[in-house]
């Protein structure tokens, strides 16, 4: 059953939502609360969020600078003063403030991954799949450029945008490596590991034109096997009191709860509560004919009708004892 299109206001301009010819992601109807509202949210443009880079500027001076250019920044949370919703901004990449590294355009839920992990100053951190560097640079900001971040990405072609991002934002506590995430060397262990891994990317989809349809590829069926290898290696790279954040931008339980459940069955792992300053839906413990560990209720699911951003899944993981 389709939905009637209506008008949506964004940046002061009227926007007509496309009509859904058929339910999107209908296979998740049983696990996504308020499913009609979820579907409606997919027809709205993704809002523009900016993260103020406190390594180079404080938020209020940047807010004032941007306002002088007709760009208005509104704080999205009382808990973190570096996350803003931008209006009147057409192309952030052409702005002097962007080149100066004063801000980084980044989806709100993407920023929440670094906040959920919250690496401490002076700590030793591994970002297993780091390019293009948004989360790496955010962690450097949270760490005040102290300690060391190993920004890993397999493909040399991705090291170029990763390096550019880190340099532009003034990150000085990171080094870039090029290992397969699932084969990252075990010689060194880390205080914090971020495993924001390759996934099917369902959470990024918005049907903002009638011609847009989410298209699945056969490659998605191979993802859970890779994801399980990565989460095991990430856990094995933790120090005894270390913490890992497993994250995807997809709704699929096979890539989310199923992968974390595999870790819980394979290692002495524990799920920790997720704290971001935003409300979220808990992880699921059943999917079709599968039952998952009850502790997966401590995982977090972010949906675009609850928080207007990219759909996300996060699980914060530590070692038992």
User: Residue 38: in which H helix or E strand, if any?
Assistant: helix 35-41
Strands annotated E in 5-141:
7-10, 13-16, 48-52, 72-75, 83-87, 103-105, 124-127
Contact 188, 156 (CB under 8 A): no
Q: Is the dihedral of CA 131, 43, 312, 91 positive or negative?
A: positive
DSSP, residue by residue, 159-197: HHHHHHHHHHTT--SEEEE---GGG--SSS-EEEEEEE-
Q: How far apart are CA 270 and CA 232, in angstroms?
A: 13
**Catalytic: 129?**
no
Q: How far apart are CA 317 and CA 192, in angstroms?
A: 10
DSSP, residue by residue, 61-77: HHHHHHHHTT-EEEES-
Residue of 43, 111, 129, 249 marked active site: 249
Task: At 319, give phi and psi (nearest 5°).
Answer: -100, 145
Determine the angle formed by the axes of helices 156-168 and 134-142, rounding to 10 degrees.
40
Instruction: State the CB neighbour count (10 A cutoff) for residue 122.
Output: 12
Q: Catalytic residues, which ones? A: 249
């Amino acid at each position: 059953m389709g939905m009637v299109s209506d008008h949506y206001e964004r940046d002061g301009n009227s926007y007509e939502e496309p009509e859904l010819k058929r339910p999107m992601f209908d296979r998740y109807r049983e696990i996504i609360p308020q499913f009609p509202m979820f579907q409606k949210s997919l027809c709205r443009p993704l809002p523009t969020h900016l993260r103020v880079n406190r390594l180079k500027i404080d938020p209020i001076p940047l807010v004032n600078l941007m306002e002088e250019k007709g760009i208005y920044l509104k704080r999205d949370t009382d808990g973190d003063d570096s996350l803003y919703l931008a209006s009147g901004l057409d192309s952030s990449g052409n702005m002097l403030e962007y080149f100066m590294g004063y801000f980084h355009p980044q989806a709100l839920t993407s920023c929440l991954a670094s906040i959920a992990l919250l690496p401490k100053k002076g700590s030793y951190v591994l970002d297993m799949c780091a390019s293009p560097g948004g989360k790496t640079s955010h962690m450097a900001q949270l760490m005040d450029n102290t300690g060391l971040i190993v920004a890993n990405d397999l493909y040399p072609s991705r090291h170029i945008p990763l390096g550019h991002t880190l340099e532009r934002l003034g990150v000085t506590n990171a080094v870039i490596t090029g290992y397969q995430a699932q084969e990252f060397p075990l010689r060194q262990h880390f205080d914090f590991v971020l495993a924001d891994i390759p996934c099917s990317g369902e959470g990024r989809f918005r049907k903002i034109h009638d011609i847009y349809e989410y298209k699945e590829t056969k490659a998605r069926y191979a993802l859970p096997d890779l994801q399980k290898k990565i989460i095991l290696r990430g856990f094995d790279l933790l120090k005894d009191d270390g913490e890992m954040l497993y994250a995807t931008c997809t709704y699929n339980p096979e890539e989310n709860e199923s992968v974390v459940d595999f870790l819980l069955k394979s290692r002495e792992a524990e799920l920790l509560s997720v704290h971001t300053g935003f409300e979220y839906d808990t992880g699921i413990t059943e999917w079709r004919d599968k039952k998952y560990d009850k502790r997966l209720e401590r995982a977090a699911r972010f949906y675009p009708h609850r928080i207007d951003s990219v759909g996300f899944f996060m699980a914060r993981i530590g070692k038992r004892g």
